[in-house]
Amino acid sequence: MKLLLASSSRYRRQLLEQLRIPFEHASPDIDETPLTDETPRAYVERLAIEKARALKSGYPQHWIIGSDQTCVIKEEIVGKSGNRDNAIKQLQACSGTAVTFYTGLALISPEGDVFSLVDPFTVRFRSLSTEEIEHYVDLERPFDCAGSFKVEGLGIQLFEALEGRDYNSLIGLPLIGLNDLMQQAGVSPLLQASN
């Protein structure tokens, strides 16, 4: 099985490595601008599919995985903060609230069949002081993460509760969902695993 991850994210690569299936990765070049009146769920599913399709012609024999994530804070789609000031603002907006993350996932077969899903995950944030937020941002520098936190790091200390079927969604690649899509496509990921 030739597998390609359509992503430049080191976080997604680290997650996919857990399945112990050899894979390649490449960065897709697509326009990620939301469409007018596009819901967060539709937005991430469309981008996941577009990312996978963008690499199809260059990798015609591969199974291609595309993934995209967005964070919704008070009904507004929020992406990666990019810098310290924006990260602080994002976490201030999250403080004391429930924030939903949507991760779109797509799998395209060598024949061009498309399998996709959206995995929602809700994070309930504690009420955070400005001092806690600034200290957290300075320690973890989560500027390349939607919502400005790293659940696999100190970010876990920001939360009251996590609600969803796969916390890997928060990192950007829901492995349970990927297993589901591969099973739908007639491939057992477990049987593809190697030493």
Active site residues: 68
N- to C-terminal Cα distance for the chain?
15
Residue with the two structure tokens 């981008």? 47
Q: Residue 97: what residue type?
A: T
Element (H, E) at 63: strand 63-73
- The residues with which 43 forms a beta bridge, in sequence order, are none
Q: Is beta strand 3-6 parallel, antiparallel or unpaired with respect to 159-163?
A: unpaired
Distance set, CA 81 to CA 8, 50, 86, 90, 190 (Å):
17, 23, 5, 7, 36
Residue with the two structure tokens 């309930």? 124
User: b/e string for 152-181 if b means 16 or more Cβ within 10 A?
Assistant: eeebeebbeeeebebbbbbbbbbbebbbbb
Q: Which two tokens stand for residue 124?
A: 């309930």
